[in-house]
Amino acid sequence: MEDAPVLIAPSLLSADLLDLRSELEAIETADWAHIDVMDGHYVPNLTFGPAMVAAVRRQGDLAADVHLMVTNPDECVGLYLDAGADVVSFHMEAARHPHRIVSQIHAAGAKAAVALNPGTPVGALEALLGELDMVLVMSVDPGFGGQSFIPSTLGKLRDLRRLCERVGAAPLVEVDGGVGDVNAADIVAAGADVLVAGSSVFGRPDRAAAVERLRRAGYLGRTGRA
């Protein structure tokens, strides 16, 4: 993926939910809208459901990048596909039958991704890697926005790149948690293709400028040129 642009996916978890239409317009230069689905069981927090995915798809051109943090992805993934999800990530740690979920996502025409918590080694993915469009590497423990990036993620990204080379797979790699313009170049240099950013976009008065800063940092990380 050396010459492909790095994709920017602002996380709506940190958006002003009372003004979601304006927030989506403010990030229209981004690539994907990252939608964190938290069920209050897999993680303590409780957030969005399929209605949110459908609403985002109706507004603008951003692809709906749905991150399922739920105990039962096998049972509920269909609801998010029906709602129009373009990319669906489910947690390896929560899935009972991951191959079946991947097939279901593909049958709906969406991209399939598996998310790995910081404590889960990349080897857990080996049997599934060839079927995935993307791997979501969590760089914080899931559940909340605004946490600090876990530095060991950089080594994990390099491990993932080596594993992909060994098995001949080339999924996109998305990194989620504590990503901002200060660390984005290093994260991309270590192997990321998609940057999720919540507080570093919606915590700034000028969201579009924050997206642009991430884009520039991503370009620097990919090319070594500022």
Could you list the residues known to form a binding site, using ranges. 11, 34, 36, 67, 143-146, 176-178, 198-199
Residue 36 catalytic?
A: yes
**What contacts 151, CB < 8 A, 6 or more positions away?**
none
* Of 67 and 213, CB closest to ligand 5SP: 67
One of 39, 65, 86, 176 is an active-site residue; which one? Answer: 176
Q: What would the x/- binding string for ligand 5SP be over residues 17 to 56, using CB under 6 A? A: -----------------x-x--------------------
Structure letter (DSSP) for residue 62:
-
Which residue is at the shortest CB distance from ligand 5SP? Answer: 198
Does 143 engage in binding with ligand 5SP (CB under 6 A)? Answer: yes
39 is catalytic: no
The tokens describing 136, both together, are: 């979501």
Binding status of residue 67 toward ligand 5SP by CB under 6 A: yes
Q: What are phi and psi of 68, to 5 degrees?
A: -85, 110
Q: 80 with 66: CB under 8 angstroms?
A: yes
DSSP state of 8: E
Phi, psi at 159, each rounded to 5°: -60, -40
H-helix segments, 72-189:
73-82, 98-107, 153-167, 184-189
Annotated active-site residue in 36, 39, 133, 193: 36
Binding residues for a divalent metal cation: 34, 36, 67, 176
Q: Residue 100's CB: how many other CB atoms inside 10 A?
A: 12
* Residue 65 touches Co ion, criterion: CB under 5 A: no
Q: Would you count residue 146 as binding ligand 5SP (CB under 6 A)?
A: yes
Tell me how far apart the alpha carbons of residues 36 and 64 are, in angstroms, rounded to a whole number.
10
**Residues 153-182 as x/- pattern, contact with ligand 5SP by CB under 6 A:** -----------------------xxxx---
Q: Which residues bind Co ion (CB under 5 A)?
A: 36, 67, 176
Q: Which residues are known to be catalytic?
A: 36, 176
